[in-house]
Amino acid sequence: MKYAIYILIFLMISVGYSQDFKQDSIQIKQFYNTSLLNGKSYQWLTYLTQKIGGRLSGSQNAQKAVKWGKKELEKLGLNKVWLQPVMVPHWERGEKEEAFIITRKGRVSVPVCALGGSVATKKGGVTAQVIEVHSVKEVEDLGEKVRGKIVFYNRPMQADLIQTGAAYGAAVGQRYNGARVAGKYGAVGAIVRSMNLRLDDFPHTGVMSYGDLPDAQKIPTAAISTIASNKLSALLKTNPNTRFYFKQHCKIFPDAPSFNVIGELTGSTFPDEYIVVGGHLDSWDLAEGAQDDGAGIVQSMEVLRLFKTVGYRPKRSIRLVLFMNEENGSRGGKEYARVAEEKKENHIVALESDAGGFTPRGFGFNCSDANYAQVLKWKPLFAPYLIHVFARGGGGSDVGHLNTKENVILGLQPDSQRYFDYHHTAIDKLDIVNKRELELGAATMAAMLYLFDKYGIK
């Protein structure tokens, strides 16, 4: 008899489970079909990139993007849409930079761009001998030997790492800290090999920091293309006295007022449990911010549109956040988290898309074992869509600030191979985004948040 009860319970659970599975499968299929057949993400991205374009924090374009975001969110039929004020850094590149290598035979022109946050060179530019290094540590060891020189950080991203994000993480310290450390020892400039796995002539900008350096030690810093980096390195081998020249006109302005753009679909059953989905609205200034992070913005918007379109009414409150200033300060992400804490809002889940609108492969989860075990159970629901990466660790620089021990922070993991071909360059434009890849990502995000909304967290 006891046995019979166990079997009955088992059957009830199984049937319940399989009915849930069936229902979830149907719901998820609807998200994918709607995104692929009648999606809006690509249309939004077209507007954002073609009508607004690059939108660095503090710029007029960033303000335009805020207005556009608010207007579009208002059209979605959400319960609330608002702007959350946040002060952001305001740095401008100014006139196009120039650079060349000075060899015995003449000048070799170099594709260059100032790093975000860098000071300008003096009016006539900087000319100096070059000292090639492969890490910040090496400069610390060289110390005073870099005085009067231009330090050339030339450690390449590691091509044998399968996930390009890992290769980026292992190389980007040069860009972020390079000028600070070189400046401390009296270098007159710092140039960095672009954070790029391929050889091309599109230099990559990106944020840098002087830390606590006094103004007098702040030296101008720029990225040069990977092809130019190889050229310079080869020339230095034949002539260690090879000199380099660069000129840039960047300006740092006082912090500027800006906003996170927020929309909410209020939960029907647990309105006080919040699920966030978002990307960052700001972008670097060199191009249109299509992959970084226009893609994440429009995918996040599409998640809520999909919920509305298929008539799914969430149990929990879903917050769509278009974060401001991820690129050079993360002020938006920090402010959103600060306000959430101040208001004691219970954020149970936060999902970010900031790795490009490429074919989605899965997610990285920053969560407890119990929550990870739960998401693993959902894996079969994603198999028809070739979503297979359910990794531990992940999230994103904006939603990361919401991390507690109890909640789930996750990041969409698209295929990473092409990301650094475009990231922070003059070619991060609409034409390098594939509509289907973008739409698949949006549907994948909707599917995952639907499951979190339905089942909650552990």
List binders of a copy of itself among 325-384 (CB under 8 A).
Answer: 359, 361, 384
Whichever of 121 and 163 has its CB closer to a copy of itself, that residue is: 163
417 binds a copy of itself (CB under 8 A): yes
Q: How far is the CB of 421 from a copy of itself (least distance, A)?
A: 7
Q: Near a copy of itself by CB under 8 A, which window of 16-24, 111-119, 130-138, 430-438?
A: 430-438
**CB of 416 closer than 8 Å to CB of 165:** yes
What letter does residue 293 receive in the DSSP assignment?
I
Does residue number 440 form part of the binding site for a copy of itself (CB under 8 A)?
A: yes
- Beta-carbon count within 10 A of 217 CB: 16
- Round to whole Å and give the CA distance between 225 and 194: 5
Is residue 326 annotated as part of the catalytic site, yes or no?
yes
Element (H, E) at 200: none
CA distance 113 to 248: 8
Q: Is 177 in the site for a copy of itself (CB under 8 A)?
A: no
> Residues touching a copy of itself: how many (CB under 8 A)?
27
Measured distance CA(220)–CA(266) in Å, rounded: 48
Handedness of CA 7, 10, 16, 19 (dihedral sign): negative
Least distance in Å: CB of 419 to a copy of itself?
10
Alpha helices in 344-412 (DSSP H): 369-382
- Interaction of residue 45 with a copy of itself, rule CB under 8 A: no
Output the CA torsion 196→197→198→200 (10° steps): 20
Residue 197 contacts a copy of itself per CB under 8 A = yes
Question: Of the listed 72, 326, 335, 352, which one is catalytic?
Answer: 326
**129 HSE (CA, 13 A, CB side):** 10
Burial track 276-290 (b if 16+ CB lie within 10 A, e otherwise): bbbbbbbbbbbbbbb
162 forms part of the interface with a copy of itself (CB under 8 A): yes
Tell me how far apart the alpha carbons of residues 316 and 319 are, in angstroms, rounded to a whole number.
10
Closest to a copy of itself by CB, 274 vs 382, is 382
CA distances from 177 to 118, 190, 238, 439 (A): 11, 10, 28, 37
The minimum distance between CB 187 and a copy of itself, in angstroms, equals: 31
Question: Considering only 106-114, 298-306, 347-355, 433-441, which stretch makes contact with a copy of itself by CB under 8 A?
Answer: 433-441
Q: One symbol per residue from 141 to 160: x for binding a copy of itself (CB under 8 A), - otherwise; what is it?
A: ------------------xx
- Residue 26 binds a copy of itself, judged by CB under 8 A: no
- Nearest approach in angstroms of CB 237 to a copy of itself is 20
User: CB within 8 A of 214, min separation 6: which ones?
Assistant: none
Question: Which of 83, 108, 389, 427 is the binder for a copy of itself (CB under 8 A)?
Answer: 389
Q: How far is the CB of 346 from a copy of itself (least distance, A)?
A: 35
Task: Using the minimum distance from each CB to a copy of itself, give the nearer residue, 122 or 392.
Answer: 392
- Reply yes or no: is the peptide bond before residue 293 cis, omega within 30 of 0: yes
Instruction: Determine the distance from the C-alpha atom of residue 410 to the mean position of all C-alpha atoms in its chain, rounded to a whole number.
Output: 13
Just list the catalytic residues: 326
Q: Which residues bind a copy of itself (CB under 8 A)?
A: 32-33, 36-37, 159-160, 162-164, 197-198, 359, 361, 384-386, 388-389, 415, 417-418, 421, 434-437, 440
